[in-house]
Chain A
């Protein structure tokens, strides 16, 4: 009998190697496009921070108040901060409020509305007023450059874009992890900006920058083996920061020799 079932040609109802090509092209192209979009948005948001009045920041952070009767330590820190703010040229509309935290962690940070937090661990390790002043001025620089605000709105914008593009899917988690790493790059840029400002404030206040890198020296010695890879860190590499401080001092002609004063000894009542 003359009946036959001819074999139909392949590649009509499906594309040969179609999903393999999709995978490579879409993953590559999509993330490249998303990275571009986010990069533009980060620039735009960081740039738009200048139009948000400082008073809005203060209103947002109004729940953070200094205790009404500050002790010696806090008075000392607040006075130092005020001096440095003046020396560094902090904007007239801004005000720094220093807070003290009894924590072993060697750290200090700036928050929205000009609130700067100094931790006891830092006071223990920097030893000198100049070392402390550099860290304090560094945090004041963050306030001056609106870094907490920029970081906040960037984080918000990042979350919104991720939510809009992916919703609550597996891809969102993957892209979110990648995006966080990219955000750290911005964070490192901000740290460098703050370092430069702080060094100038020290030169203006003390007439020299001796002892400014006390914290970095301590980090380089004590925590060298614990440092994360630079591209995974919110702060630049410590050795590079020390070098950069020296470079700036040389270029700007800051005095690198001068007298350093130890941090006063307060009674350990608090």
Chain B
């Protein structure tokens, strides 16, 4: 009976601690790797340039243009939600979601640039972002997923 009581208290506690530790270390490792990859890709020489302005300058008038986009679908995991739940009690920046969304935006832009490059473009104008919740909104106990979309006009065949 003693061993049973011990198990009854310790098992959920140990399980939770194990899950939290796993979430902490894997999350830290994966995020660091992802940022290293994002920054390396963003600063790569010959990367497609992006401009928020709606129209290219007249000197760049291209023979062809195309809509290019990059899309990323991300999901909040239980560990990030755990941190956010605690954060919401005291207020302040929701750091666990902010870094996730920051990576999603930058990854989406990189995918858009990759698409533009594959189409032979060197610049993309009129770059915009869209964010849409696609699952789990408002439902209790469900993790939320969202899409971050970056799109713009690629100028093709321009030196």
Does chain A bind chain B? yes
Contact between A5 and B2, CB atoms less than 8 A apart:
no
Knowing A170-B78, A177-B12, A178-B13, say if A18 contacts B99 (CB, 8 Å): yes
Does A13 sit at the interface, judged by CB under 8 A? yes
Q: How far is the CA of A135 from the CA of B9 in the complex (A)?
A: 27
8 Å CB contact of B2 from A3, A180, A233? A233
Shortest distance in angstroms between B33's beta carbon and chain A's nearest beta carbon? 15
Q: How far is the CA of A23 from the CA of B12 in the complex (A)?
A: 20
Chain B residue nearest to A227 in the complex (CB): B2
Contact between A20 and B16, CB atoms less than 8 A apart:
no
Does A229 sit at the interface, judged by CB under 8 A? yes
Contact between B123 and A3, CB atoms less than 8 A apart:
yes
Contact code string B75-109 (vs A, CB < 8 Å = 1, else 0) = 00010101101110110010110110110010000
For chain A, the count of residues having a C-beta within 8 Å of the partner chain is 36
Contact between A26 and B6, CB atoms less than 8 A apart:
no
8 Å CB contact of B13 from A30, A174, A226? A174
Knowing A228-B2, A228-B5, say if A26 contacts B86 (CB, 8 Å): yes
Knowing A19-B83, A26-B90, say if A181 contacts B42 (CB, 8 Å): no
Does B146 sit at the interface, judged by CB under 8 A? no
Does A44 sit at the interface, judged by CB under 8 A? no
Contact between B123 and A22, CB atoms less than 8 A apart:
no
Number of A-B contacts (CB under 8 A): 95
Instruction: Summarize B's interface: helix, strand, loop or mixed.
Output: helix
Chain B residue nearest to A27 in the complex (CB): B86
Does A7 sit at the interface, judged by CB under 8 A? yes
Q: How far is the CA of A24 from the CA of B2 in the complex (A)?
A: 33
Contact code string A119-150 (vs B, CB < 8 Å = 1, else 0) = 00000000000000000000000000000000
Contact code string B109-151 (vs A, CB < 8 Å = 1, else 0) = 0000000000000010000000000000000100000000000
Contact between A177 and B93, CB atoms less than 8 A apart:
no
| Chain A 8-23 interface residues, beta-carbon cutoff 8 Å to B | 10, 13-15, 18-23
Knowing A13-B98, A18-B98, A30-B89, say if A177 contacts B9 (CB, 8 Å): yes
Contact between A22 and B83, CB atoms less than 8 A apart:
yes
Does B43 sit at the interface, judged by CB under 8 A? yes
8 Å CB contact of B42 from A7, A23, A27, A171? A7
Does A248 sit at the interface, judged by CB under 8 A? no
8 Å CB contact of B80 from A19, A171, A180, A226? A19
Spell out B's residues near A (CB within 8 Å). 1-3, 5-6, 9-10, 12-13, 16, 20, 24, 27-28, 35, 39, 42-43, 47, 49-51, 60, 78, 80, 82-83, 85-87, 89-90, 93, 95-96, 98-99, 101-102, 105, 123, 140
